Structure 1
Amino acid sequence: MAAVDSFSLLLREIGRSCNCYMETLALIGALYTAKMGFTLMNDTYTLIRLHFIPRLVKRADLVKLYGKWAVVTGGTSGIGKYYAKELASRKVNIILISRNQEKLEALAQEIVNTYKVETAIIVTDFSKGSEIYPSIERALAGKEIGILVNNVGVFYTHPDYFTSLTQDKIWELINVNIGAANMMVHMVLPGMVQRKKGAIVNISSMSCCQPTPLMTAYSASKAYLDHFSRALHYEYAPQGIFVQSLIPFFISTNLTTYSRHLSKKSFLVPSAEEYARHAVTTLGISRRTTGYWLHTIQFLLGQYLPEWLWAWGTYRMNNSLRLEATLQRPH
């Protein structure tokens, strides 16, 4: 029977094999560390380039870059209202589309008085579906639409289980969050292509980052907008059209009144005015951004999380918000 010559020889052979494996693992670790270091530096550079440098340099001439008129849907409150004001401050004429005529007229007059630009209003309810779009198209005819901001959107009354939604609410989510953006883009894009310039901003949501329980239908509709924007940019960028997917996290607006904490302005929850002021500076620079530097940090962290951890965390958060809203509801 064969035998090993000596134990020390066997030990050396085992050590040699282990050293080979250790060197391989060390190389893999070094490559991974280098990759993560490069990613961190790139993300830091992107954060500075998007959210700080544009605020230090001269503001871009949006009329020259894109055109004379901007259309803002859902423009009487929240992000839409203040995004319209920011565009008007840069001498872009504004067309506001919403369902409340009184609020539209008041905001349009305020913009005229403050910024000395032209305004127009279109009263419509995007939840009505396809029947509303011919009248919108007629109202926009003859105007050089350079910027389209698809801001109109609906949310649940508060985070909730999918089976708690009514059929009317589901159709409203589809017609407003998905249908409106598609139809408005289809309406104004041919003119932009003809002029070889234009910008489209589709406002999505942080819930599009990964599957978000208790916001299931809403987050899916916002994920659609995000993918729609990204694909549309690749399709039309060669023809001079800039398409941006704007992905805000929580903002203090009417959509967050179900929570005492989210309805109050804070370090991580900016006002709609503050958010819009930051977001407009990213137009033409980034085709996919949160629009706000603190939200960008949150977004980067969210992307690095495993799906199961994101889903676990957002489920716990949204369930807490659901319970808070339920307790606040009058009996």
Structure 2
Amino acid sequence: MDFMELLLVSLGSAIVFYYGVKLLLFSKILYPKLWFPLPKSFFTSMGEWAVVTGGSDGIGKAYAFELAAQGMNVVILSRTKEKLDKIAKEIGDTTGQKVKVIVADFTEETVFDEIENNLMDLKIGVLVNNVGILPTLIPSKFLETPDLEKAIVRVINCNVKTMAKMCRITLPGMENRGKGVIINISSGTACVNASIYSLYSSSKVFVETFSQALQAEYKDKGIIIQTVAPFGVSTNLSGYQRTNMVTITAEDFVKTSLQHIRAGDKTYGSVCHAVLAWILQSIPHQILSSEAMQIRLKEYVKKRIAAASARTSTS
């Protein structure tokens, strides 16, 4: 075998091996129950209580319901007491679990002392850092963001500071007991250069890097810290867009994401979102961040939100 033939055979073998590994990883996403089985008592074995920020709506509400269905008592935090009380009653009536509510506006900087006092005596096994806000529902360039100065403070307080503070509050108890789960909700926009989502996507990049560093620091303590990065989920944050192959319900998203809790320090929460991430990451950056793409994305979001609004007004 001459050198060129050897080179081609080696190259071909490397390509086959590379795509074989890719296929294996994809099979893990398709069949999480086979690759990452969870005992029925997995979540309750972490502790008695689950804490969910932004727990009165959307993904947070779905996590609160699902973790209560798994047998955990739940603390839900949000800024609207009426909504919290309503959801708390629904969860309690449906699952029979205890539900505590804590009213907190995470865009403010002075809410954490009261939260810590309310959580002090609870054995917290699961923390879901879900709460997050967009600077504006319709994506826009940074300098075109309405009330930009306020938007910067609100987004950083809610999307960045809250996650770090809630980890600071709950991690010591988990470390002392040698077990616990922290789920930090990021966004699919963090995996690409999300032009016209600059402030939001950058805050979610922090979520991912902080979570991965924290997992490296506390993995040996028996604590799972995972980033979950959804793309389209039909919630208030997305204007309750109609569901399709990519945009899924919060309930479906949460059920699949919890099946991947032992799948590594980052998942996309569902097969369709993982596939979408791979597709987007294969598109050249120059195309994704082009002016034409920004305009099309903005118009697309406008149309979908308008359609969702029209459905709501006629229902």
Instruction: Give the TM-score of the pair, scaled to structure 2.
Output: 0.88
| Alignment length (residue pairs) | 304
Q: Which residue of 2 aligns with 1:117?
A: 97
Task: Choose 314-323 or 99-108, whichever is displaced more.
Answer: 314-323
User: Is 1:62 the counterpart of 2:40 in the alignment?
Assistant: no
Q: Which residue of 2 aligns with 1:10?
A: none
1:53 to 34, 39, 55: 34
- What is the CA deviation profile of residues 1-43 of structure 1, one whole-angstrom value per residue up to 9, with x for unaligned ones? xxxxxxxxxxxxxxxxxx85x5476246414422432232222
- What is the CA deviation profile of residues 161-198 of structure 1, one whole-angstrom value per residue up to 9, with x for unaligned ones? 10012111111110000010000001110111011111
1:231 to 205, 213, 216: 213
1:161 to 138, 141, 150: 141
Task: Choose 267-276 or 244-253, whichever is displaced more.
Answer: 267-276
Q: 1:24 to 1:172 in 2, by over 3 A?
A: farther
Paired-residue identity, %: 30
Q: Which residue of 2 aligns with 1:99?
A: 79
Q: Which residue of 1 aligns with 2:242?
A: 264
Q: Is the 8 A contact 1:181 1:202 kept in 2?
A: yes
- What is the CA deviation profile of residues 64-96 of structure 1, one whole-angstrom value per residue up to 9, with x for unaligned ones? 1x1000100000110000111000001100000
1:43 to 20, 25, 37: 25
C-alpha distance in 2 between matches for 1:233 and 1:323: 38
Q: 1:112 to 1:42 in 2, by over 3 A?
A: same
2:280 to 302, 312, 322: 302
Q: Larger Rg: 1 or 2?
A: 1
Task: Choose 199-208 or 317-326, whichever is displaced more.
Answer: 317-326
Across the aligned residues of Structure 1 and Structure 2, the Cα RMSD in angstroms comes to: 2.6
Please state whether the residue corresponding to 1:127 is helix, strand or coil: coil
Task: Choose 80-89 or 271-280, whichever is displaced more.
Answer: 271-280
Q: Which residue of 1 aligns with 2:235?
A: 253
Q: Is the 8 A contact 1:151 1:202 kept in 2?
A: yes
| Aligned-residue offset at 1:287 | 2.3
Letter in structure 1 aligned against 2:163: A
Unaligned runs of 5+ in 1: 1-18
Q: Is the 8 A contact 1:154 1:176 kept in 2?
A: yes
Q: Which residue of 2 aligns with 1:88?
A: 68
Q: Which residue of 2 aligns with 1:132?
A: 111
Equivalent runs, 1:159-238 vs 2, <5 Å: 159-165=139-145, 166-238=148-220
| Aligned-residue offset at 1:55 | 9.7
- What is the CA deviation profile of residues 249-275 of structure 1, one whole-angstrom value per residue up to 9, with x for unaligned ones? 111111112xxxx70011221111111
Instruction: Give the TM-score of the pair, scaled to structure 1.
Output: 0.84
C-alpha distance in 2 between matches for 1:194 and 1:55: 26
Letter in structure 2 aligned against 1:264: R
